[in-house]
Structure 1
């Protein structure tokens, strides 16, 4: 007679719990990718890599050359898709209760945009894992936007993409200095010192991401204004722009990306996932 009671106490997995677990893997993968990206950019700032700033392909190549690198690439691709699924749930299921006001829809639109960006990154990671190589990120991203730029209404579309990137940059900086990001990490198990440390890690990390997105958005918008696709910058071009201001400028932003990677690993371990 006790068996039904025991079975009733067993919590069966649900789509919601599965999505949350998948999202946590996604947080960890984002943290891992930013650690690699920030580490390579830091080495460029220190002159260890000469003056070569990292591009998307080099990040995945670095992962591929690690022990069990091919498996790591597959895990990164799968984990990033988990993050995409969570972002789309935030956007379309309104798990954050943003509502349908203009501001609420704008925030939900940002969730969708963020998911699409990481979906593209997951595609590149999966392609690298499958084929073992990628086209240079600058060639891939620039050619796509350059082709778009010269299509009917292309300048308008590319300009809007630039404005969206600039808006995303502003959101990242706002989150960093308003403390809005602090509701994404469960800090109850932390000591007071650990809580402050994680908070400042988030501030630095989100600020660094905001700077990178802002530079990319600015160049994208200016390329649309001038109808000049050569002005478009990818991540590597953004790092080159920072390096032109001085190695110390690139180094500060690169270290910020490393810290963001560490912050995302903390969020993967102690997340707050609302709405499901």
Structure 2
């Protein structure tokens, strides 16, 4: 390939890489808000435990909320595009082994969940109803989950979420994220522990959410599905709950910062 062709291709890929990095920033901001609200709650300064949708709602309430939300939507769309590139075109070279295909399947599911989050953010930005407007669909979903097939699906989703949580724990403890990032040597001494702490904290929360889903399916109680906010509430109500919630909340802040570091140092192969 001629030098001019290489340069033209690099220029063509630059907007996509910018979008992908904006995606990491968008996800980082959401988790910073989740962690900060939980920390404020522990310190008695207001706040509370919430999930990704609650974080978007909180961002929308802030000064320049519409501007921030628009940037988040663009970032989430970029993140979805990047996840699809990782999953479908094997940007990280996981290959076609069983392990590689499992990782790519997880990346594809991540693309879908963030696409749903981007859609929800878009509705919030356009001031459309985000709760009562989907009552009929929600009722149909509850009816499906009440069936034997629905409970099986819920249990399988729970198992998948637990696996994702364990993968985060493994990735954090082994620092496997390092192979996909170009971290400057003089910053490794603080970046790697921060990233590991953030990944472990998110892994703990996801394992709890997955267990809630499995337990809900086991008890055939589709109306008792719990998410991230409820997981942190459970931590708060356990022995030494304030300390545990504070540690996990700080970890989620670290996970938010980890995403900003990925935006800066992640290898984006197109």
Helix, strand or coil at the partner of 2:70? helix
1:239 correspondence with 2:232? yes
TM-score where L is the length of structure 2: 0.88
Instruction: Please give the alpha-carbon distance, in whole angstroms, between the structure 2 residues aligned to 1:20 and 1:237.
Output: 35
TM-aligned CA deviation for residue 17 of structure 1: 3.0
TM-aligned CA deviation for residue 134 of structure 1: 3.3
Cα deviations by residue, 1:182-220 (Å, 9 ceiling, x for unpaired): 1232113x41xx212110111000011101111110010
How many residues of Structure 1 are paired with residues of Structure 2 in the alignment?
A: 265
Q: 2:71 aligns with which of 72, 75, 87?
A: 75
1:272 correspondence with 2:267? yes
User: 5+ unaligned residues in a row in structure 1: which ranges?
Assistant: 1-6
- 1:87·1:111 contact (CA, 8 Å) conserved in 2? yes
1:96 correspondence with 2:89? no
Instruction: Please give the alpha-carbon distance, in whole angstroms, between the structure 1 residues aligned to 2:193 and 2:244.
Output: 19
1:36 correspondence with 2:33? yes
1:172 correspondence with 2:168? yes
Cα deviations by residue, 1:39-67 (Å, 9 ceiling, x for unpaired): 001111222227x4234444223212323
1:257 correspondence with 2:243? no
- 1:142·1:229 contact (CA, 8 Å) conserved in 2? no
User: 5+ unaligned residues in a row in structure 2: which ranges?
Assistant: none
* Pair 1:71–1:151, CA change in 2 (3 A): farther
Helix, strand or coil at the partner of 2:209? helix
- 1:38·1:256 contact (CA, 8 Å) conserved in 2? yes
Specify the alignment match of 1:159 in structure 2: 155
Instruction: Please give the alpha-carbon distance, in whole angstroms, between the structure 1 residues aligned to 2:62 and 2:162.
Output: 34
RMSD of aligned C-alpha atoms? 2.7
Instruction: Please give the alpha-carbon distance, in whole angstroms, between the structure 1 residues aligned to 2:139 and 2:204.
Output: 24
TM-score where L is the length of structure 1: 0.87
Helix, strand or coil at the partner of 1:153? helix
Instruction: Please give the alpha-carbon distance, in whole angstroms, between the structure 1 residues aligned to 2:190 and 2:139.
Output: 41
Pairs within 5 Å for 1:59-208: 59-131=55-127, 134-135=130-131, 146-151=142-147, 153-188=149-184, 190-191=185-186, 194-208=187-201
TM-aligned CA deviation for residue 10 of structure 1: 6.1
Helix, strand or coil at the partner of 1:131? coil
Specify the alignment match of 2:202 in structure 1: 209
Specify the alignment match of 1:226 in structure 2: 219
